[in-house]
Amino acid sequence: MVSVHEAKTHLSKLLEKVELGEIVVISRSGKPVAQLVSCTVERPKRKIGSAAGAFVLPDDFNAPIQEIEDDFYR
Q: From first to last of its 74 residues, what are the pLDDT tens digits of the chain? A: 999 999 999 999 999 999 898 999 999 999 999 999 988 767 788 888 888 888 888 898 889 888 888 888 87
Q: pTM for the whole thing?
A: 0.53
Domain 1-40 has CATH 3.40.1620.10: yes
Rounded to whole angstroms, what are the CA distances from 30 to 6, 14, 27, 59?
12, 18, 6, 72
pLDDT, residue 14, reads 96
Q: Find how far residue 5's CA is from the centre of its chain.
A: 30
Residues 6+ away with beta carbon under 8 Å from 36: 7, 14, 15, 18, 23, 24, 25, 26
pLDDT, residue 36, reads 94
pLDDT, residue 27, reads 97
pLDDT, residue 24, reads 96
Rounded to whole angstroms, what are the CA distances from 72 to 61, 63, 67, 68?
19, 15, 9, 6
Listed by start position, the domains of the chain span: 1-40
